[in-house]
Structure 1
Amino acid sequence: MTRNSRMRIYKGIFALLDLCLVNLAFVSAFWIKFGNEIPDYNWDSYANVLPWLSIVTLIIFYMFDLYSNWRRKSLYNLLYLIVLAVATLGLSTMALTFWYRGFSFPRSVIILSMLLQILFLALTRTAIWWFAKRRYGLRKVLIIDRDLESAVAFAYKFLSHAAGWFVVHRFLSVEQWKVHISVIEEVDVVLLSPSLAKDEKAEILSYCARCRKEVLIVPELFELFVLDAEPQQIDDMLVLSVQPPGLTPAQLFTKRAFDIFASIFLIILFSPIMLGLYILVPLNSNGKAIFKQERIGKNGQKYMIYKFRSMVEGAEKLTGPIFAADNDPRITSLGRFIRATRMDELPQLFNVLKGDMSLVGPRPERQFFIEQFEQTIRDYSYRMSVKPGITGLAQVMAKYSTNTEDKLRFDLMYVRNYSFALDIKILLQTIRVLFQSEQARGINRKYTREYEMMLKHFGYSEVASGQGDKVHLKK
């Protein structure tokens, strides 16, 4: 049985388990409220809506990514998504029961069932996550890179990952791995840097397969295009058909229709907040409330993006185009709050309505930075084959401090694997990001201490920071 087949079976089991737990919570809530004498009209309302409720449950849990592989991920994020999914399910239950049988489904039962659902799902998923961590955690990692300085950057990512899943065992340069080939026997996982040549990757991968070791490959950007390639046959030759990046006409129509209706709804929903900020921003600091700036959209087209101004007026007059930093003195007191809560992005709903942007897509960038990125990252322009978005896969999967190339990998993954369901999943998971400030933070002091201890363990110390993820080490 292939790994994909096993995953489908596991997801099916999880889905059935979730349905049992959700309905067990409803039954328990009825019993707590009414005891053994549940009124027939209340119970009948639940029984009649049960099939629809089950379908809605599976859709909501899927959209909140509860059926992805949670091995090696954060338990905190898993529990957070469970709470958001159950809250959404509770609102959907109220809507379903009101539409079907008015108020015959007690709201007190729905609220109580939500608390029980969170309890049942959290306990069950925590137990499964804990068992997986005991079984698959503390995997010893060997990092193979072109040089040790680059390998340290990957080691830092393992340290920043959810604790308990990985232990950095050793670094090896690609020239050293054959000399120290016995090290592969000591580890569980081998990570290969994208800087390795194809023949080097192939040789190490082949050896690790013989040793039955897991290999993690950081893909080169062009390799992401092959992920959804279609196997075809030309005479007796196997080929992979790789289509150019972009969306089909049907996908473009669906995406645009959703953008129009959703942006109108969100503009109406957030209009009180936008009106309040339109008044408060000029009162907090001199200047206009709305900040307009040229950005590059789909296929390199220029447009003006709208934001609530979070910096002082004319913030870049002396510095020129630069990225905002933590504790940036140019950011106003109100601006710090609206940036943290992403409320400064709300005017971009009008960009979406105009057609300059989409709700979901790669974040738009300025021409100045695009020209710099294209000099060092060959495939950077592919992210502009779709409309830029207010949120995107990189925004929900990466961090604020993630480097440009790693964010680009997520952007290209989105372009190559677009679906309407993926857009909905990203929008729902954006809710999680909005309330998790650690995803917007820079360097964490805890990880810095562990990083220094790791370098000391291997006999190195960092003497100066280089460009990007590059560091300089000394023995």
Structure 2
Amino acid sequence: MVKIYKVLFSVFDIFLIHIGIIAAFYLKFGTTIPLYNWSSYMKVLPWLSLSALIIFYMFDLYSNWRRKSIYNLIYTIVLSIGTLSLFTMALTFWYRGFSFPRSVIVISAVIQVVLFVGIRSLVWWIAKQKYGRRKVLIIDESLESGLAFAQKFIQHASGWFIIQNLLPVSQWKQMAHLIHEVDVVLLSPSLNREQRAEILSYCSRYGKEVLIVPELFELFILQAEPQQVDDMLVLSVQPPGLTAAQLFLKRAFDIVVSAVLIVLLSPIMLVLFILVPLTSKGPAIFKQERIGRNGKEYMIYKFRSMVHNAEQKTGPTLATDDDPRITPLGKFIRATRLDEIPQLFNVLKGDMSLVGPRPERAFFINQFKENLPDYTYRMSVKPGITGLAQVMAKYSTTVEDKLRFDLMYVRNYSLALDIKILFQTLRVVFQWELSSGVKRRTENMEVLLRYFNLEVASGDESLSTKKDRIL
């Protein structure tokens, strides 16, 4: 059913693209369209159709947009159509199709945006009416850990979920009636296998949707190959990492694209190289030791966004919201990811890749490994300037949640996935809220307790007592 949905949408998208172009021709020329202009369009029509499908796929327009933000949908459509228009201009130049008027391309882009936004928004709205406002029950080991998952639903695009209740897993059998009062049940990864299997079976029996936050090791079996040993079914799970052919292809892609980007972005780099030291004391380029593939150390390059020697007194510290160490210019270049541009030279050197898990310092890696033993698996590939976690999550997303995306990337690597992530990086560049620092835990707790109409009390015992009132 999903495949049929995607095929129908892609055919309809091609129809809309060409409706927009034809309408632009009529707006430009009226009913008497010059033949040499029209023939130029017909010459590139097949390639334009194919390009549209590829660009829309790379911007993830054919994924399931149910439960996502309408703002992100509209933003993605505008960016996709804009990219397609630029590609159309390049395509007509390549085919010497100068008789394909640039004004027609611009007008058609406006018409296409209106058509796509109108129709996709209508489909999104219908889906929201049918599948929105789902009542959610969160089952976790404790109420405190359940509050962290509640925050995810609160911060999600509004209108899709309503948090109905939180339930400690130890009480689920006594309070199983709560499951009948909701539409969706979320199961925490802290639940053991027996608990999850039992609750999943119960929910399925009564037609309830179950959202499962996977344990990290479970991500390894997503692409496992079914095999047979005698009359026994087994799943073959290969160790994380890329094949020799994949490594070669990825490296060649990195060299070509990073070299082109360095040339294209050189004016921006020159401006920032001058502005950074002018606006705050210290060098323009910030160098810091990071850990790369297989634990190899290297020096990463970034445009400095904090005051010089920001960690001299505090030691290694993650950036937070309204971090006083971040300079005014630094806030802008961090939000737009311009501070990351010098890492293209790290890619050329071979220390990094364009796409991969974000590199981290040894200080934090040692801390993360204490609670997340699977953290080292993300270092089976080169770190990247961007990655799946960067386009799917936020800067303030927890280490464990980012690790899930990183392991998904390692297990599902392909060159097509790299290209798709690069396209989607364009989508998140101007979503500045995604680059905000880590929120302090007390601030998060205040938001959650306020949502449940509770007051923040001093002292852990009093806070715990108030959290018990949620049920």
Q: Could you tell me the TM-score, scaled by structure 1's length? A: 0.94
CA distance, structure 2, for counterparts of residue 36 and residue 246 of structure 1: 59
Report if the CA contact (8 A) 1:259-1:353 is conserved: yes
What does the per-residue CA deviation read over 1:324-352, in whole Å, with 9 as the maximum and x for residues that have no partner?
22222222232222222221111111000
The structural deviation recorded for 1:284 is 2.3
In structure 1, stretches of 5+ residues that fail to align are: 1-5
Contact 1:462–1:473 (Cα < 8 Å) also in 2: no
CA distance in structure 1 between the partners assigned to 2:445 and 2:28 by the alignment: 51
Q: What is the rounded CA distance, in whole Å, between the counterparts of 1:71 and 1:450 in structure 2?
A: 26
Q: Do the aligned partners of 2:143 and 2:468 also contact (CA within 8 Å) in 1?
A: no
**CA-to-partner distance for each residue in 1:214-264, whole Å, 9 max, x for gaps?**
100000000000111111111111111111111111211111111101111
The alpha-carbon deviation at position 421 of structure 1 amounts to 1.2
Q: In structure 2, how many angstroms separate the alpha carbons of the residues matched to 1:22 and 1:472?
A: 56
| Aligned partner (choices 34, 51, 57) of residue 62 of structure 1 | 57
Are 2:355 and 1:387 aligned?
Answer: no
Residue 379 of structure 1: SS of its match in structure 2? helix
Aligned ranges for residues 118-267 of structure 1 at < 5 Å?
Answer: 118-267=113-262
Deviations 1:80-112 (A, max 9, x none): 010111011101111112222431111111100
Kindly provide the amino acid, as one letter, of the partner of residue 17 in structure 2. Answer: V
Of stretches 79-88 and 324-333 in structure 1, the one that deviates more from structure 2 is 324-333
1:76–1:418: structure 2 CA closer, same or farther, 3 Å change rule? same
Looking at structure 2, the residues matched to 51 and 269 of structure 1 have their Cα atoms a distance apart, in angstroms, of: 29
Q: Given that residues 393 and 411 in structure 1 are in contact (C-alpha distance below 8 angstroms), is that contact kept between their aligned partners in structure 2?
A: yes
TM-score by length of 2: 0.95
> Which secondary structure does the structure 1 equivalent of 2:95 belong to?
helix
For residues 122-181 of structure 1, what are the alpha-carbon distances to aligned partners after superposition, in whole Å with 9 as ceiling and x for unaligned?
A: 001000000000010001111100011111111111011000001111111111111111
On the 8 A contact 1:42/1:104 being kept in 2, the answer is yes
Residue 12 (str. 1) matches residue 7 (str. 2)? yes
Q: How does 1:315-326 map to 2 (within 5 A)?
A: 315-326=310-321
Q: Which runs of 5+ in 2 are unaligned?
A: none
Report the AA paired with residue 408 of structure 1. Answer: L
Question: How far apart, in 2, do the equivalents of 1:94 and 1:339 lie?
Answer: 32
Matches within 5 A, 1:304-315: 304-315=299-310
Letter in 2 for 1:260: I
Tell me the CA shift for residue 43 of structure 1.
1.1
Bigger mean CA offset, 60-69 vs 88-97 = 88-97
Residue of 252, 255, 263 corresponding to 1:268: 263
Alignment deviations for residues 258-280 of structure 1 (CA, whole Å, 9 cap, x no partner)? 11011111111111121222222
Residues 446 and 286 (structure 1 numbering): CA distance in 2 closer, same or farther, change over 3 Å?
A: closer
Query: Which sits farther off after the overlay, 340-349 or 366-375?
Result: 340-349
Q: Which residue among 432, 436, 451 is the counterpart of 1:454? A: 451
Distance 2:309 2:71 in 1: 40
- Larger mean CA deviation between 423-432 and 335-344 belongs to 335-344
Offset from partner CA, 1:393-450 (integer Å, 9 cap, x none): 1111111211110111111111111111111111111112111112123569999887
Which range moves more in the overlay, 333-342 or 253-262? Answer: 333-342
Q: Distance in 1 between matches of 2:68 and 2:236?
A: 33
Give the secondary-structure state (helix, strand or coil) at the position aligned to 1:265: helix
Aligned residues: 464
* More displaced 10-residue stretch of structure 1: 296-305 or 445-454: 445-454
1:353 aligns with 2:348: yes
Change (3 A) 1:85 1:229: same
In the TM superposition, residue 453 of structure 1 has moved relative to its aligned partner by: 4.4
Q: Secondary structure at the match of 1:212?
A: coil
Instruction: Report deviation, 1:354.
Output: 0.1
Find the partner of 2:427 among 425, 432, 436.
432
RMSD: 2.0
**Contact 2:226–2:234 under 8 Å retained in 1:** yes
Which residue of the partner structure matches residue 107 of structure 2?
Answer: 112
